[in-house]
Amino acid sequence: MNGQSGPDFSILTDKAFQKLYQNPEDCIQYSQSLLISEKNIEHKVVLRKIISWAYAMQGNYVQAINTSNQKEEDGLDVKQSRFLKLFEDFNLADQYQNLGLYDQSRKIIAGILADTKLQNTRNLQERMTLSKLYQLQAINDGISGKYNEALKNFDKSDQYLDHNNEENTITRQENSVFRSLSLMKNNRLDESKKQLDRVIHEIESEGKSPFLEAFSYEVLSRYYFQKEEYTTAVSYLEKGFAKIENMPYNDMKLIFYELFTQNYLALNDTGKYFHYNNLYTDLKSKLDSNRKEGIQYIVKLLEIYHKKNIEHQKQSKLKQVQLIIGGILLLIIGTLVCFYYELRRAKDLKKQLVFFEKQKQIMVLAAHTTATKEPLTKGNKVQDKDLTKLSEEKENEILEKLKEWEISRNFLSKNMSISILSAETGINPKYLSEVINSKKEKNFNGYINDLRINYIAYLLRTDPAYLNYKVSYLAEYAGFSSHGAFTNVFKSITGMSPNHYIQEIIKNKKP
């Protein structure tokens, strides 16, 4: 994000941004050296964000959040410029996306982009921030399966890249790689390949960005995997991984490990499959732990900042407006606190599945017998009474949000719980539970397991590559903790084991 108020600072931050894509450790060292002598608040905010991005690329989410939020220490008495307020909102949306809270990120960005006056700004700082916001929103759209919307937002991001510097060039190239990925997922393979070839040629000819080279080769490998040319896919993965192998781009390395695992599984190379699967599992465990700590940390920061805002509101003429903002912060804090503590209380997934099976048997038994036991009757009356609190319009709204969420495939996450679903959809967990029980006619675990098994069954029917995968990989991919748990749930839903189901598909495909 290039500060434009002074030519010297512009050149220095442009160099810092370029280092971000060359080696995050060098970027941190260089940017911190600039920050020590910098006095301008806007300049300090931009430098801290660059350092924050470098930490996030390494998977150090706590340090990323801490660094980018230190701007509050510059003092609440300083009147914020429009750029600082815009950048503050952008920073929060970016942090939510890094932590996997895509719905929260999307809502913040949508609110900012609704300001038509801001969209017409000629301020170069604000235009660069808007470009980043459209890029973030496009990524959120892609994660939700809204690929056409993602493509439109990448185009809008490019429209604000009208300054001739490295930051604009790198962001435009990054958008091109993301755009080709969206085209690929939208089954527009030829367009995706042409887009990739162009941007790879440009990035390689410049030779300035190992990160972007690795990113473009990673996406190119996905293209060949989708074409079932697994050997070619592996060759581009190796070429891309070599660019970052000795650098701490841990977020990107995790993606490479996963893609190596999938390709070697398809090639029936057991040795390399287990090697990369172990690397993937170890790094994913570490980054997931860092993400949880990041969520806990951002909740604490929001609590601290809220208290500071309350004190500042007493001296401000805009007290009513700030109280509304404080209320919004409290709602965000409450949601994240529930999300974090629910994760900590989560038990072993296998135990949850056993519990789900018991609950399912109880529900089936109850459906075929009369409600003669008084405790069960009373429980049903309480539930009916609670359901009357939700209007038909509200229920339909919740069902629509659930339908959109299902497209995102976040139900494949091993840590999925009703609190996480609440955080991702912005729906009260009590209302979620009521609607799932009444409209989906199953409890939360049953609902998630149905989505998982139906999605795996769909992949097995439509993508021949998955027929060659081991059941243990399908189980892990679907979010189950073990082969046995996956098999039990699969059989309870389809009436046959995964192996039996796969054999039936293969037999039906034969002439």
Query: CA-CA distance, 213 to 236, in Å (whole number)?
Result: 11
What does the radius of gyration of the chain's CA atoms come to, in whole angstroms? 25
Query: CA-CA distance, 161 to 169, in Å (whole number)?
Result: 8
**CA angle, residues 441, 445, 449, in degrees to nearest 5:** 90
Amino acid at 65: I
- Token pair 């070599």: residue: 242
Query: CA-CA distance, 117 to 113, in Å (whole number)?
Result: 10
The pLDDT value given to residue 151: 94
Query: CA-CA distance, 92 to 96, in Å (whole number)?
Result: 6
- Token pair 């993508």: residue: 463
CA 177 from centre of chain: 17
Per-residue pLDDT 10s for the chain (511 aa) are 444 444 478 888 888 888 999 899 999 999 999 888 888 888 888 889 899 999 999 988 888 888 887 754 444 445 678 888 888 888 888 888 888 888 888 899 999 989 888 888 998 888 999 999 999 999 999 888 889 999 999 999 999 998 788 889 999 999 999 999 999 989 999 999 999 999 999 999 988 899 999 999 999 999 999 999 999 999 999 999 999 999 999 999 999 999 999 999 999 999 999 999 999 999 989 988 888 887 877 776 665 554 544 444 444 545 555 556 766 775 577 556 555 545 444 443 443 343 334 334 433 433 443 333 333 333 333 333 344 457 888 888 899 988 889 888 889 888 888 888 888 888 898 898 899 998 888 899 889 998 999 889 888 888 888 888 888 999 998 999 888 889 988 888 888 888 888 888 888 776 5
CB atoms within 10 A of CB 113: 16
Contacts of 180 (CB under 8 A, 6+ apart): 191, 192, 193, 195, 196, 199, 219
User: What's the pTM?
Assistant: 0.61
The pLDDT value given to residue 322: 59
**CA angle, residues 52, 57, 61, in degrees to nearest 5:** 60
Instruction: Assign 3-class secondary structure to 395-415.
Output: HHHHHHHHHHHHHHCHHHCCC
User: From start to end of 224-365, where are the E strands?
Assistant: none
| Token digits of residue 224 | 């060949």
